[in-house]
């Protein structure tokens, strides 16, 4: 049985991203997985890593709880919209503040290499676009996919990462959205 953490990076609880999170959770519940959630919009924290890594900024209670959930999880499910070829600012702030040296990785002395603390974990990225996924891939080069997959998750040790890109959402019909909600529920049931 897997421990699954669903992290929603959309700041609007009425968004399609929240419906996607709910569908994934519904599927995962059918598999008897243990499930926890983080809705970043509900956390009370300063998203600004004020001093970078030069000086420690104390973590707020919500971020300490988020770190405990991230450590607990076997499988991380990230749900977010792609805005300006990236993820929302609140999600970026969450990543900056939570995935710190000593928690997610350790820098090696006199080396560019680091020790990764999230090895053995898997991830699913579910993101929405206002353009077709093929356009995002071939014209823009999947910048948010590269940032979260390679620049973040690979860096901390998560190697097996699957990406589900849904778009265009802005002009989509209800039938299209329902189809995706069912697909995402199935992913949850398969723990993928």
Under DSSP, the state recorded for 59 is: P
How is 128-163 classified by DSSP, letter by letter? E-SS-HHHIIIII--HHHHIIIIIIIIHHT--EEEE
pTM of the prediction? 0.95
Per-residue pLDDT, averaged over 70-89, amounts to: 97
Measure the CA–CA gap between 119 and 107, rounded to whole angstroms: 15
67-92: average pLDDT: 97
Distance (Å, rounded) from C-alpha 81 to C-alpha 129? 6
Does the pLDDT value for residue 1 go beyond 90?
Answer: no
Joined tokens for residue 126: 């579910």
CB 73 within 8 A of CB 4: yes
* Tokens 């959630």, residue located: 37
Rounded to an integer, what distance in angstroms lies between the CA atom of residue 35 and that of residue 37?
7
Give Cα 82 distance to the centre of its chain.
Answer: 12
Distance (Å, rounded) from C-alpha 173 to C-alpha 183? 16
Instruction: Work out the end-to-end distance of the chain between its first and last CA atoms, rounded to an integer number of angstroms.
Output: 13
Integer-rounded Cα radius of gyration of the chain? 17
**Exposure of 96 by Cβ count < 10 A (0-12 exposed, 13-18 middle, 19+ buried)?**
middle
Please state the φ and ψ torsions of residue 91, each to the nearest 5 degrees.
-70, -40
User: Percentage of the chain with pLDDT > 70?
Assistant: 100
| Residue carrying structure tokens 């990462």 | 161
pLDDT-derived band at 54 (thresholds 50, 70, 90) equals confident
Q: How do residues 26-46 score in pLDDT, each as one tens digit?
A: 999 999 999 999 999 999 999
């Amino acid at each position: 049985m897997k421990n699954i953490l669903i992290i929603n990076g959309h700041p609007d609880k009425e968004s399609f991203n929240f419906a996607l999170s709910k569908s994934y959770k519904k599927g995962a519940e059918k598999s008897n997985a243990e499930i926890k959630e983080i809705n970043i919009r509900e956390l009370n924290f300063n998203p600004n890593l004020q001093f970078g890594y030069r000086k420690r900024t104390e973590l707020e209670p919500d971020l300490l709880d988020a770190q405990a959930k991230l450590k607990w999880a076997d499988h991380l499910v990230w749900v977010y919209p792609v805005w300006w070829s990236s993820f929302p600012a609140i999600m970026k702030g969450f990543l900056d503040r939570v995935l710190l040296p000593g928690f997610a990785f350790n820098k090696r002395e006199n080396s560019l290499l680091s020790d990764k603390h999230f090895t053995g974990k898997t991830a699913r990225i579910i993101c929405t676009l206002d353009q077709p996924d093929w356009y995002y891939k071939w014209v823009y080069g999947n910048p948010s996919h590269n940032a979260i997959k390679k620049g973040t998750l690979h860096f901390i040790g998560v190697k097996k990462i699957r990406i589900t890109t849904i778009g265009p959402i802005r002009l989509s019909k209800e039938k299209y959205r329902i189809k995706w909600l069912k697909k995402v529920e199935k992913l949850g049931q398969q723990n993928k």
